[in-house]
Every structure is written in structure tokens, then in C-alpha cells.
Amino acid sequence: MQDRNHLSNVQATNNVSLIENGLIDIPMLQLLDENGQETNKKESPDIDEVTAKKIASTMQYIRLLDERMVGAQRQGRISFYLACTGEEAATVGSAAALSPNDMIMSQYREQGALAYRGYTTEQFMNQMFSNELDPNKGRQMPVHYGDKKLNFMTVSSPLGTQIPQAAGYAYGQKMAGNDAVTICYFGEGAASEGDFHAGVNMAAVLNCPTIFFCRNNGYAISTPASEQFKGDGIASRGIGYGVKTIRVDGNDVLAVFAATKLAREIALAENCPVLIEAMTYRLAAHSTSDDPSGYRSKNEEEKWRAKDPIERYTKWLDGKGWFDKKATDEFLDKSRAEILAAVKKAEKVSVAPIEDIIEDVYDTPPWHLKQQLTDLKAHISKYPEHYPKTSGRVK
């Protein structure tokens, strides 16, 4: 039997020296420069006109949705929101390079990928308004989307949990032989969780077709990347775990699309994970509970605003003769009206019956949860003025 470890292959050296700067300055793939010009036509992905336009309209829609929902939170209509402004190319460009059978496991800022898959404005609203049409039955914060039909795993709040799950899910896809991969989105901040290391290593050792897609947007809430890690971003970690890795300009749709397409092909053909690190910038606040003016300068934001992924992509579309200003304006007007109508509709839908708060967890709710429910009902009937009329509604 052959040796099953690497120890016998290690080369000896007689130099007493430390390895320094072994993995720095990993280059970033850029296929579209900041003026929307292709940098290397031979490497540009082959995106047909229909797909190219769908990518554009999804990015525009998501930017609009973000703007409107931050507004809705400020008006007190929803409790919380997370915008992805500035990161649209990373999520929409990657989703466009996948097959609809591929599983998406997201962190929370990937509404672009979900919209690309066909999640409707009404579905977004029912989830965010936590009404009875929300598949989570209102038991989650806004932005915890999920959709079985669209192969989009429900978002969960604790950072990094989706990373080992994505290794396991892809392992199952490989065993089932259904020619599908799992893409796992996460932020560079989440890559500090133990789950990142466990998940990536597991996928490498067990040969799982997982695409680990890191959105390195410079911040984990108020903590800049420079205070999060000392190594060369997250790409260097992929290489450390023996995972094929690529760093891309996350504001460049063509680079993101090309990298994800390649990652998918390799993951399927070789049954292995691939790590993509998309370099981008969170132009938005972390969430509606955050105010970035306390930890970064307007000047820094402006520098990144000038690299707007939508503008860059639009210039490219225009160069191809695929950009129609009038049609785009009409689409935005229609989307604005659709979002407003969906807000008005979703906020009128009742919340789920109050029993749902303790059901679906245990086969039979245990006595202490039943007791808490009884206490809650008593509390709501004592102070009805502090609760929506529909709370406390019994099945």
C-alpha cells in the first residue's frame, strides 16, 4: 500500500530562514477597466445579449430596491434592512454564471443573486414585512430570504454557518451525480469564523464541488479589513488549504462572470472546491442600524463611488449597442411603481397566528414554551395599544 501522507515528499533544506511574504500581492482578474473597456478581448466571457441585459436590469432593480427599503425602514415600515450598494456586480455577475440547479448558500447581502434567480418583488416584501406569507412566518428579521424552488438556502444570522453546510451540500450533489455545484457567499469578516476554516478544509479533503465566493468589501461592520487579518486577503487562505483560487475585481461583471464560470467547470469536472475572492466595497452602511461616518471618510467612499459597478457595466453594454436609455428609464419607473405597490400590499397582510411562534421546532411544543405563549397572549391583551391589531391572532 502507498504512503497516504505527504511527509515522505517534503524536501530538506540546510538554510536557517523563515518564509516571508510567501503569498502576497495575488493579482486580481480585471476584464473591464474603469472606463468600461475590455482589457483582453480573448479572455472576455461569451455573454449573449439576453443574459447581458438581464444582468443589467437585475443590478438596476436591486439598487432601486435597496434605496426604497432603506427608506421604508426610516419611515418605520420595516424594522431592519441591509443594502448591497456597490456590490451588485459581485453577486449578480456570479449568479449569472451558474445553472439554476446549483444551490446558493448566501450570507445576507446577496439579494442580487436571488433576484437574478427570479425571486419576485412580492416575495421580497412578504419576507421583509414578516407577514403570514413570509415562509419564515415572521420569526426572522427582514432579509432572511430563502426559496426552495429557486435553490436558495434560507439566510441565517450567525456568521459562517453556511460555509461548512455548503461543503456538505456539495458533497451530496456529487454523490447524487446531478451535475450541480453549491456556491457559498460570505464576507471577508465571516472568513474569521472557525466555520470558514472547517468548511473550506472539509471541501478540499472530501473533494466537494463548492464555489466559495468571498465578497471582500473592506469592512466587517466598522472593522476595516486591515484590522481583521494580516495575510493577503482571503485568496491566500484558499491556496493554504490546497483549494484552486482566483482573485477578481468584484466591481467588474465580466471578471466575476468569467471566474465563476471557470470555477463551476473545474468544480464539476474535477470534483473539487474553488475559492473566488471578489475585491469590492460596501458603499452602503452595514445595515440600517449603522452609520459609517463614525469610522470611514467621505473621501474614501467617493473614491469607490467612482468605481461604480453598474456604471462601468453600462458603458460596456453601450459599447456593444445593447444599452437603451429609454427602455432602462421605463424599466426603472415600472420597478419603482411595483415596489411601492408591493410595500402597500405586504403591510396589509396579517401576521402569522401567534401559535406559530412555538411550532415547527419540536414535534410537540414542550410545556415551558406553551407556558410562555400563554403569558405572551396575556401580555398582548393587557397592552394591545403597543402591538399590531393582528398580533395575538389565534389559529
Ligand X SMILES: Cc1ncc(C[n+]2csc(CCOP(=O)(O)OP(=O)(O)O)c2C)c(N)n1
Provide the annotated active-site residues.
282, 286, 295
The minimum distance between CB 213 and Mg ion, in angstroms, equals: 13
Residue 265, C-beta contacts closer than 8 angstroms, at least 6 positions apart? none
Instruction: Name which position in 27, 76, 158, 177 contacts ligand X (CB under 6 A).
Output: 158
**Which is nearer to Mg ion, 156 or 207 (by Cβ)?**
156
Given the rule CB under 6 A, which of 19-27, 185-193, 235-243, 247-255 is the region that contacts ligand X?
185-193
What's the Cα-to-Cα distance from 256 to each of 11, 56, 123, 263, 287, rounded to whole Å?
37, 14, 27, 10, 25
Q: Which does 159 bind (CB under 5 to 8 A by kind): ligand X, Mg ion, none?
A: ligand X
**Site mask for ligand X (CB under 6 A), range 106-135, x = bound:** ---x--------------------------
CA distance 143 to 121: 13
Residue 69 beta carbon to Mg ion: minimum distance, rounded to whole angstroms: 20
Q: How far is the CB of 223 from Mg ion (least distance, A)?
A: 9
Region 275-294 residues binding ligand X, contact defined as CB under 6 A: 282, 286
97 or 143, CB closer to ligand X?
A: 143
Given candidates 94, 130, 217, 391, which one binds ligand X under the rule CB under 6 A?
A: 217
Smallest separation, CB 222 to ligand X (Å): 9
Cell numbers for 115, please give them.
433576484
Cβ proximity to Mg ion, 248 vs 342, nearer residue: 248
235 binds ligand X (CB under 6 A): no
Q: Report the residue number, 283 or 346, with the smaller CB distance to ligand X.
A: 283
For the beta carbon of residue 295, count every other beta carbon within 10 angstroms.
Answer: 13
Q: Which residue's CB is nearer to Mg ion, number 66 or number 188? A: 188
For ligand X, which stretch binds (CB under 6 A), given 137-145, 182-190, 300-308, 322-330? 182-190
Q: How far apart are CA 30 and CA 266, in angstroms?
A: 20
**Interacting span for ligand X (CB under 6 A) from 11-19, 147-155, 157-165, 358-366:** 157-165
User: Judged by CB under 6 A, does residue 220 bind ligand X?
Assistant: yes
Residue nearest to Mg ion (CB): 187
Is residue 159 near ligand X by the rule CB under 6 A?
yes
- Cβ–Cβ under 8 Å, residues 159 and 153: no
Using CB under 6 A as the binding rule, whether residue 226 contacts ligand X is answered as no
Report if residue 173 touches ligand X, rule: CB under 6 A: no
Separation in Å, CA 168 to CA 198, 204, 238, 274: 11, 11, 17, 15
Distance of closest approach, residue 162 Cβ to Mg ion, in angstroms: 15
Nearer to Mg ion (CB atom), residue 84 or residue 115 = 84
Q: Which residues bind Mg ion (CB under 5 A)?
A: 187-189, 217, 220
Report the residue number whose CB is nearest to ligand X.
187
Query: Cβ 292 to Mg ion, closest distance in Å?
Result: 12
Question: In the complex with ligand X, which residue's Cβ is closer, 45 or 112?
Answer: 112
Alpha-carbon dihedral angle through residues 354, 357, 359, 365, given to the nearest 10 degrees: -100
The nearest distance, CB 219 to ligand X, in angstroms, is 5
Instruction: Please report, as ranges, the residues that interact with ligand X according to CB under 6 A.
Output: 109, 157-159, 187-190, 215, 217, 219-221, 282, 286
